[in-house]
Protein backbone atom coordinates (compact mmCIF):
# COMPACT_ATOMS: atom_id res chain seq x y z
CA UNK A 1 0.00 0.00 0.00
CA UNK A 2 2.83 2.42 0.91
CA UNK A 3 4.51 1.83 -2.46
CA UNK A 4 1.24 2.51 -4.29
CA UNK A 5 0.79 5.83 -2.44
CA UNK A 6 4.35 6.89 -3.25
CA UNK A 7 3.84 5.93 -6.90
CA UNK A 8 0.60 7.94 -7.00
CA UNK A 9 2.24 11.08 -5.64
CA UNK A 10 5.15 10.62 -8.03
CA UNK A 11 2.70 10.66 -10.93
CA UNK A 12 1.11 13.85 -9.59
CA UNK A 13 4.51 15.54 -9.35
CA UNK A 14 5.48 14.40 -12.84
CA UNK A 15 2.21 15.68 -14.23
CA UNK A 16 2.64 19.09 -12.60
CA UNK A 17 6.16 19.29 -13.97
CA UNK A 18 5.12 18.40 -17.52
CA UNK A 19 2.29 20.93 -17.46
CA UNK A 20 4.57 23.82 -16.46
CA UNK A 21 4.77 26.26 -19.36
CA UNK A 22 8.10 27.52 -20.61
CA UNK A 23 8.56 29.67 -23.69
CA UNK A 24 11.98 28.23 -24.51
CA UNK A 25 13.73 25.05 -23.36
CA UNK A 26 17.51 24.57 -23.40
CA UNK A 27 19.02 21.11 -23.18
CA UNK A 28 22.61 20.07 -23.79
CA UNK A 29 21.39 16.65 -24.90
CA UNK A 30 19.45 18.12 -27.80
CA UNK A 31 15.97 17.67 -26.30
CA UNK A 32 15.18 21.41 -26.07
CA UNK A 33 14.71 24.26 -28.51
CA UNK A 34 18.42 25.07 -28.17
CA UNK A 35 21.54 23.28 -26.93
CA UNK A 36 23.20 26.50 -25.72
CA UNK A 37 21.87 29.16 -23.35
CA UNK A 38 23.23 32.08 -25.38
CA UNK A 39 21.30 30.88 -28.42
CA UNK A 40 18.11 30.98 -26.34
CA UNK A 41 18.87 34.49 -25.09
CA UNK A 42 19.62 35.70 -28.61
CA UNK A 43 16.26 34.38 -29.80
CA UNK A 44 14.31 36.71 -27.49
CA UNK A 45 12.78 39.67 -29.28
CA UNK A 46 14.22 43.08 -28.41
CA UNK A 47 12.10 44.86 -25.77
CA UNK A 48 9.57 42.07 -26.25
CA UNK A 49 6.05 43.62 -26.17
CA UNK A 50 4.52 40.24 -25.29
CA UNK A 51 5.86 40.39 -21.74
CA UNK A 52 8.06 38.05 -19.74
CA UNK A 53 9.87 35.24 -21.56
CA UNK A 54 10.72 32.16 -19.49
CA UNK A 55 13.69 30.02 -20.47
CA UNK A 56 13.90 26.60 -18.83
CA UNK A 57 17.41 25.14 -18.67
CA UNK A 58 17.71 21.40 -18.26
CA UNK A 59 20.36 19.83 -16.06
CA UNK A 60 23.77 19.92 -17.65
CA UNK A 61 27.18 21.57 -17.77
CA UNK A 62 27.06 24.65 -20.00
CA UNK A 63 30.54 25.89 -20.90
CA UNK A 64 29.51 29.36 -22.00
CA UNK A 65 30.43 33.00 -21.51
CA UNK A 66 26.97 34.58 -21.47
CA UNK A 67 25.59 38.07 -21.93
CA UNK A 68 22.05 39.41 -21.77
CA UNK A 69 22.23 42.72 -23.69
CA UNK A 70 20.38 45.88 -22.73
CA UNK A 71 17.63 45.27 -25.31
CA UNK A 72 16.70 41.88 -23.82
CA UNK A 73 14.46 42.55 -20.81
CA UNK A 74 11.77 40.71 -18.83
CA UNK A 75 13.51 37.35 -19.07
CA UNK A 76 13.48 34.50 -16.56
CA UNK A 77 16.10 31.75 -16.67
CA UNK A 78 14.98 28.79 -14.58
CA UNK A 79 17.26 25.82 -13.99
CA UNK A 80 16.00 22.28 -13.54
CA UNK A 81 18.31 21.66 -10.57
CA UNK A 82 20.45 24.29 -8.88
CA UNK A 83 23.44 22.06 -8.26
CA UNK A 84 23.27 20.23 -11.59
CA UNK A 85 22.48 23.11 -13.95
CA UNK A 86 25.89 24.73 -14.18
CA UNK A 87 27.07 27.68 -16.27
CA UNK A 88 30.86 27.77 -16.30
CA UNK A 89 33.68 29.87 -17.75
CA UNK A 90 37.25 30.46 -16.61
CA UNK A 91 38.61 33.87 -17.62
CA UNK A 92 40.73 35.88 -15.20
CA UNK A 93 42.18 39.40 -15.32
CA UNK A 94 45.69 38.40 -16.35
CA UNK A 95 44.67 36.56 -19.51
CA UNK A 96 45.76 38.87 -22.35
CA UNK A 97 45.60 41.74 -19.82
CA UNK A 98 41.79 41.71 -20.06
CA UNK A 99 41.30 43.31 -16.63
CA UNK A 100 38.53 42.63 -14.12
CA UNK A 101 35.46 43.71 -16.04
CA UNK A 102 35.77 41.38 -19.02
CA UNK A 103 36.29 38.22 -16.97
CA UNK A 104 32.61 37.49 -16.29
CA UNK A 105 30.96 34.16 -16.84
CA UNK A 106 27.49 35.75 -17.01
CA UNK A 107 26.87 39.45 -17.69
CA UNK A 108 23.36 40.86 -17.35
CA UNK A 109 22.68 44.28 -18.90
CA UNK A 110 18.94 44.04 -19.54
CA UNK A 111 16.37 45.11 -16.95
CA UNK A 112 13.94 42.81 -15.13
CA UNK A 113 15.97 39.62 -15.39
CA UNK A 114 15.41 36.73 -12.99
CA UNK A 115 17.68 33.73 -12.41
CA UNK A 116 16.46 30.76 -10.41
CA UNK A 117 17.88 27.32 -9.56
CA UNK A 118 21.17 27.88 -11.39
CA UNK A 119 24.88 27.67 -10.65
CA UNK A 120 27.08 30.38 -12.19
CA UNK A 121 30.78 29.64 -11.83
CA UNK A 122 34.10 31.19 -12.73
CA UNK A 123 36.54 28.31 -12.32
CA UNK A 124 39.72 30.26 -13.11
CA UNK A 125 42.73 29.54 -10.94
CA UNK A 126 43.49 32.03 -8.17
CA UNK A 127 45.62 34.25 -10.39
CA UNK A 128 43.64 37.47 -10.20
CA UNK A 129 40.15 38.91 -10.51
CA UNK A 130 37.67 36.46 -12.02
CA UNK A 131 34.00 37.51 -12.05
CA UNK A 132 31.25 34.89 -12.13
CA UNK A 133 28.22 37.25 -12.21
CA UNK A 134 28.33 40.82 -13.56
CA UNK A 135 25.06 42.76 -13.28
CA UNK A 136 24.31 46.16 -14.81
CA UNK A 137 20.57 45.83 -15.39
CA UNK A 138 17.96 47.19 -13.01
CA UNK A 139 15.46 45.14 -10.97
CA UNK A 140 17.47 41.91 -11.19
CA UNK A 141 16.37 38.96 -9.02
CA UNK A 142 18.31 35.83 -8.07
CA UNK A 143 16.57 33.00 -6.25
CA UNK A 144 18.13 29.78 -4.97
CA UNK A 145 21.27 30.17 -7.08
CA UNK A 146 24.93 29.37 -6.46
CA UNK A 147 27.68 31.80 -7.41
CA UNK A 148 31.11 30.19 -7.29
CA UNK A 149 34.49 31.81 -7.70
CA UNK A 150 37.50 33.26 -5.95
CA UNK A 151 38.41 36.95 -6.19
CA UNK A 152 35.51 39.21 -7.30
CA UNK A 153 32.81 36.55 -7.65
CA UNK A 154 29.85 38.97 -7.94
CA UNK A 155 30.17 42.44 -9.47
CA UNK A 156 27.12 44.63 -8.91
CA UNK A 157 28.23 46.85 -11.71
CA UNK A 158 26.20 50.02 -12.08
CA UNK A 159 25.02 52.71 -9.71
CA UNK A 160 21.31 53.50 -9.44
CA UNK A 161 20.42 49.89 -10.21
CA UNK A 162 18.80 47.42 -7.82
CA UNK A 163 19.25 43.72 -7.21
CA UNK A 164 17.67 41.15 -4.89
CA UNK A 165 19.30 37.86 -3.88
CA UNK A 166 17.12 35.32 -2.05
CA UNK A 167 18.39 32.08 -0.51
CA UNK A 168 21.54 32.06 -2.63
CA UNK A 169 24.96 30.55 -1.95
CA UNK A 170 27.93 32.82 -2.67
CA UNK A 171 31.59 31.90 -2.24
CA UNK A 172 34.90 33.58 -2.87
CA UNK A 173 38.22 34.85 -1.56
CA UNK A 174 38.80 38.62 -1.88
CA UNK A 175 36.19 41.39 -2.36
CA UNK A 176 33.90 38.73 -3.73
CA UNK A 177 30.81 40.91 -3.52
CA UNK A 178 31.72 44.34 -4.93
CA UNK A 179 30.40 47.35 -6.81
CA UNK A 180 28.17 50.45 -6.67
CA UNK A 181 24.65 49.00 -6.96
CA UNK A 182 21.94 48.88 -4.31
CA UNK A 183 21.54 45.22 -3.34
CA UNK A 184 19.50 43.30 -0.78
CA UNK A 185 20.76 39.83 0.22
CA UNK A 186 18.09 37.82 2.05
CA UNK A 187 18.76 34.46 3.69
CA UNK A 188 21.97 33.89 1.74
CA UNK A 189 24.86 31.61 2.71
CA UNK A 190 28.22 33.29 2.17
CA UNK A 191 31.37 31.17 2.26
CA UNK A 192 34.80 32.76 2.73
CA UNK A 193 37.63 30.66 1.32
CA UNK A 194 40.62 32.75 2.42
CA UNK A 195 41.59 35.38 5.00
CA UNK A 196 40.46 38.51 3.20
CA UNK A 197 37.41 40.74 2.67
CA UNK A 198 33.81 39.72 1.99
CA UNK A 199 32.46 42.95 0.49
CA UNK A 200 33.96 45.92 -1.33
CA UNK A 201 31.11 48.34 -1.91
CA UNK A 202 31.71 51.45 -4.00
CA UNK A 203 28.41 53.15 -3.21
CA UNK A 204 28.35 56.73 -4.58
CA UNK A 205 27.96 59.55 -2.09
CA UNK A 206 24.52 60.50 -3.44
CA UNK A 207 23.12 56.95 -3.20
CA UNK A 208 21.53 56.23 0.18
CA UNK A 209 21.65 52.43 0.15
CA UNK A 210 24.41 50.05 -0.85
CA UNK A 211 24.59 46.45 0.40
CA UNK A 212 22.14 45.11 2.98
CA UNK A 213 22.71 41.54 4.15
CA UNK A 214 19.73 40.34 6.18
CA UNK A 215 19.29 36.93 7.82
CA UNK A 216 22.44 35.72 6.09
CA UNK A 217 24.88 33.11 7.33
CA UNK A 218 28.59 33.84 7.01
CA UNK A 219 30.72 30.71 6.89
CA UNK A 220 34.51 30.39 6.94
CA UNK A 221 36.76 27.68 5.57
CA UNK A 222 38.75 25.89 8.27
CA UNK A 223 41.89 27.86 7.33
CA UNK A 224 40.17 31.26 7.64
CA UNK A 225 40.82 33.00 10.95
CA UNK A 226 40.93 36.72 10.05
CA UNK A 227 38.09 37.87 7.83
CA UNK A 228 36.86 41.42 7.33
CA UNK A 229 33.16 42.12 6.78
CA UNK A 230 34.17 44.58 4.10
CA UNK A 231 36.48 47.30 2.90
CA UNK A 232 35.69 50.61 1.27
CA UNK A 233 36.43 50.44 -2.45
CA UNK A 234 35.20 54.03 -2.57
CA UNK A 235 34.96 56.62 0.19
CA UNK A 236 31.17 56.43 0.75
CA UNK A 237 30.81 52.66 0.67
CA UNK A 238 27.60 51.55 2.39
CA UNK A 239 27.14 48.05 3.86
CA UNK A 240 24.87 46.74 6.61
CA UNK A 241 24.87 43.28 8.21
CA UNK A 242 21.54 42.75 9.95
CA UNK A 243 20.20 39.65 11.74
CA UNK A 244 23.14 37.65 10.38
CA UNK A 245 25.21 34.80 11.79
CA UNK A 246 28.83 35.93 12.11
CA UNK A 247 31.25 33.18 13.14
CA UNK A 248 34.50 33.20 15.06
CA UNK A 249 37.19 34.39 12.69
CA UNK A 250 35.62 37.74 11.87
CA UNK A 251 38.24 40.34 12.81
CA UNK A 252 37.36 42.28 15.99
CA UNK A 253 37.64 45.61 14.14
CA UNK A 254 35.18 44.28 11.55
CA UNK A 255 36.01 46.60 8.67
CA UNK A 256 39.02 47.83 6.66
CA UNK A 257 39.62 51.36 5.34
CA UNK A 258 41.53 50.26 2.20
CA UNK A 259 44.76 51.93 3.34
CA UNK A 260 43.06 55.31 3.66
CA UNK A 261 42.14 56.53 7.13
CA UNK A 262 39.98 59.28 5.59
CA UNK A 263 37.53 56.59 4.48
CA UNK A 264 36.69 55.99 8.13
CA UNK A 265 35.04 59.42 8.20
CA UNK A 266 32.77 58.80 5.23
CA UNK A 267 32.17 55.06 4.73
CA UNK A 268 28.78 53.92 5.99
CA UNK A 269 29.40 50.60 7.70
CA UNK A 270 26.72 49.30 10.04
CA UNK A 271 25.60 46.26 12.02
CA UNK A 272 22.44 45.29 13.85
CA UNK A 273 21.23 42.31 15.85
CA UNK A 274 23.77 39.81 14.54
CA UNK A 275 24.63 36.62 16.42
CA UNK A 276 27.71 34.40 16.80
CA UNK A 277 31.22 34.97 18.10
CA UNK A 278 31.99 37.29 15.20
CA UNK A 279 29.08 39.55 16.10
CA UNK A 280 30.84 41.06 19.12
CA UNK A 281 31.02 44.78 18.31
CA UNK A 282 33.17 45.83 21.28
CA UNK A 283 36.24 45.95 19.03
CA UNK A 284 34.64 47.98 16.26
CA UNK A 285 36.33 51.38 16.23
CA UNK A 286 34.71 53.31 13.39
CA UNK A 287 31.64 51.43 12.16
CA UNK A 288 28.17 52.00 13.59
CA UNK A 289 25.88 49.73 15.59
CA UNK A 290 22.28 50.66 14.82
CA UNK A 291 19.58 51.07 17.41
CA UNK A 292 16.30 49.20 16.94
CA UNK A 293 14.66 52.43 15.83
CA UNK A 294 17.40 53.15 13.27
CA UNK A 295 17.30 49.58 11.95
CA UNK A 296 13.56 49.81 11.31
CA UNK A 297 14.32 51.97 8.26
CA UNK A 298 16.04 49.09 6.49
CA UNK A 299 13.30 47.12 4.77
CA UNK A 300 13.09 45.73 1.25
CA UNK A 301 10.34 48.24 0.52
CA UNK A 302 12.48 51.23 1.52
CA UNK A 303 15.82 50.10 0.15
CA UNK A 304 14.73 48.90 -3.29
CA UNK A 305 11.69 51.04 -4.06
CA UNK A 306 13.50 53.65 -6.18
CA UNK A 307 11.15 55.86 -8.19
CA UNK A 308 8.92 53.01 -9.32
CA UNK A 309 8.12 51.38 -5.94
CA UNK A 310 9.73 48.12 -6.95
CA UNK A 311 9.32 45.36 -4.39
CA UNK A 312 10.61 41.94 -5.51
CA UNK A 313 8.93 40.19 -2.59
CA UNK A 314 5.43 40.94 -3.94
Q: Are 54 and 24 in contact (CB under 8 A)?
A: yes
Measured on CA atoms in the order 61, 143, 209, 191, is the torsion positive or negative? negative
CA distances from 127 to 33, 35, 152, 178 (A): 37, 31, 12, 18
CA distance 194 to 196: 6
Write down the catalytic residue from 91, 152, 280, 308: 152
Distance CA 156, CA 203 (A): 10
Burial class (CB within 10 angstroms; exposed 0-12, middle 13-18, buried 19+) of 305: middle
State how far the Cα of 291 lies from the Cα of 270, in Å rounded to an integer: 10
Question: Nearest to residue 115, comparing CAs of 168, 63, 62?
Answer: 168
Q: Please tell me whether residue 55 adopts helix, strand or coil conformation.
A: strand
Sign of CA dihedral 228, 229, 232, 233: positive
Q: How many residues does the chain have?
A: 314
- Whether 152 is a known active-site residue: answer yes
* Active-site residue, from 23, 91, 175, 256: 175
Annotated catalytic residue 175: yes
Q: How many degrees, rounded to 5, is the angle at CA 75 between CA 71 and CA 80?
A: 145
Q: Annotated active-site positions, please?
A: 152, 175
Amino acid sequence: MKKLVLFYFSLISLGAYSQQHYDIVVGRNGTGNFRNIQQAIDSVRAFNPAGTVTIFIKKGFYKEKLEIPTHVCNVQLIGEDRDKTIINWDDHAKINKMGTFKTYTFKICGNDVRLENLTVENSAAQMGQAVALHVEGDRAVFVNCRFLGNQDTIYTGRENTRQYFLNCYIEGTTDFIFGPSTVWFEGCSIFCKRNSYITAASTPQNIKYGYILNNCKIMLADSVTEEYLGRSWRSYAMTLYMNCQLPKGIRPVGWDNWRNAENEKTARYMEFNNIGEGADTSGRTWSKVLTKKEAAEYTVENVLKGFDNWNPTK
